[in-house]
Chain A
């Protein structure tokens, strides 16, 4: 059997990296399996890798770029001896101790596992969406906004990410239409106000995108009114999807308790899951706050819980 590690951390957003900093400083020699590159939110560094300016992370009065914040956290975890593996976990087995964590044909064993796999962007789930990704349909405004200089585009969603993306995209696009299924926004007041005050941004209230048009690239979308059921066409060359996230918990189905929306369930006021020695933190347990700072906070909780649990085991 391979020598069991004291701690394996799965996922490397703010939660996972904070857990790594704490467990590394506690000399638990954590291994963090940080994931693989992707453009959807489950990549190393997490969702902040797809953002631009982060203005509300305490300690950065002038703001900081999302990817830079994450590379700082990674360097900090590395400084105290965290070991990194840039792969995706393919299976876990929590039915016996030490727990098993599988990366393809390579197996790791660990006395405690901290899960911080986060969440990834939801898609609209309508026809032709997948084939038009990279041809006008996008989930990453910071990656793709540049290609829509002088064009008209739409952003779907009513939360902070949608407002941030729409505001950012006005740097390039002539006009941005925010398509939202209700008549009020879920976004924070400051982000709402910024979007509402922007002369390049218009709103399509009570609307959903139900059809995509265009052959080689997107040329327009059909909007359906959620109240009257009426259809109308909106000619846009780009469609940015920011309708929320889904927790990355497929790996843990059948082994850990999930709630109705697929989030991991932890004991109130702690990071403990229903299996002793397995802890969870960050967006994978949080459908309420979903902030970098709350993820980092619960990452710290998971690390301290794991440390105490290990001490208890002797």
Chain B
């Protein structure tokens, strides 16, 4: 079972605003090689870390949200706190580095 929920243009706002934990959103697409590389790492982090919720948003299917946050490169990870973007990470990275950059939210 996947611990990462998929967001869409219609569900995004509600999920982000109603979460009491920071939400890490992975902007990704099927055709993006580096996105596929980090997907299993995000699954691991999602099952190991209690402090954050991890969600993903397919930019092909949900272009409006991607455009609203000016995502121009994927993978992009945006951490939302209280419904507002608090941190942005561009490009694929290893697990160690991702955990380090997410450190303040974990």
B34 touches A143 (CB 8 A): yes
Stretch at the interface among B14-22, B47-55, B79-87, B89-97: B89-97
Tell me the minimal C-beta distance from A211 to chain B in angstroms: 20
Residues on A facing B (Cβ under 8 Å)? 36-40, 43-45, 49-50, 66-67, 86-88, 104, 133-136, 138, 140, 142-144, 146-148, 216-217, 238
Q: How many A-B residue pairs have CB under 8 A?
A: 85
Residues of B close to A87: CB separation below 8 A: 94
Contact check: which of B36, B72, B93, B94 meets A144 at CB < 8 Å?
A: B72
Alpha-carbon distance between A36 and B41 when the two chains are bound, in angstroms: 10
Contact check: which of B34, B66, B71, B73 meets A37 at CB < 8 Å?
A: B34
* Chain A interface, >50% SS class: loop
B92 touches A43 (CB 8 A): yes
Contact check: which of A38, A86, A217 meets B34 at CB < 8 Å?
A: A38
A138 touches B94 (CB 8 A): no
- Give the 6 A-B residue pairs with the shortest CB-CB distance, closest first: A36-B94, A134-B90, A37-B37, A37-B92, A39-B91, A134-B73
Tell me the minimal C-beta distance from A130 to chain B in angstroms: 10
Residues on B facing A (Cβ under 8 Å)? 29, 31-38, 41, 59-60, 66, 70-76, 88, 90-97
B74 touches A143 (CB 8 A): yes
Among B73, B75, B94, B96, chain A packs the most CB atoms within 10 A around the CB of: B73
Tell me the minimal C-beta distance from A203 to chain B in angstroms: 24
Alpha-carbon distance between A66 and B32 when the two chains are bound, in angstroms: 11
Residues of A close to B74: CB separation below 8 A: 143-144
Tell me the minimal C-beta distance from B44 to chain A in angstroms: 11
B93 touches A36 (CB 8 A): yes
A38 touches B33 (CB 8 A): no
Contact check: which of B72, B91, B94, B96 meets A136 at CB < 8 Å?
A: B72
A146 touches B37 (CB 8 A): no
Residues of B close to A134: CB separation below 8 A: 72-73, 76, 88, 90-91
Tell me the minimal C-beta distance from A300 to chain B in angstroms: 25
Known: A38-B91, A49-B37. A143 touches B72 (CB 8 A): no
Known: A44-B37, A49-B34, A67-B33. A135 touches B92 (CB 8 A): no
B70 touches A50 (CB 8 A): no
Tell me the minimal C-beta distance from B98 to chain A in angstroms: 9
Alpha-carbon distance between A217 and B71 when the two chains are bound, in angstroms: 10
Alpha-carbon distance between A216 and B59 when the two chains are bound, in angstroms: 20
Alpha-carbon distance between A87 and B97 when the two chains are bound, in angstroms: 11
Alpha-carbon distance between A147 and B74 when the two chains are bound, in angstroms: 9
Residues of B close to A135: CB separation below 8 A: 70, 72-73
Tell me the minimal C-beta distance from B95 to chain A in angstroms: 8
Alpha-carbon distance between A43 and B75 when the two chains are bound, in angstroms: 14
B73 touches A133 (CB 8 A): yes
Tell me the minimal C-beta distance from A272 to chain B in angstroms: 31
Tell me the minimal C-beta distance from A196 to chain B in angstroms: 26
Residues of A close to B94: CB separation below 8 A: 36-38, 86-88
Residues of B close to A37: CB separation below 8 A: 34, 37-38, 41, 92-94
Known: A144-B74, A217-B72. A133 touches B33 (CB 8 A): no
Closest A residue, CB atoms, query B29: A146
A133 touches B34 (CB 8 A): no
Tell me the minimal C-beta distance from A161 to chain B in angstroms: 15
Closest B residue, CB atoms, query A143: B32
Closest A residue, CB atoms, query B36: A67
Tell me the minimal C-beta distance from A165 to chain B in angstroms: 14
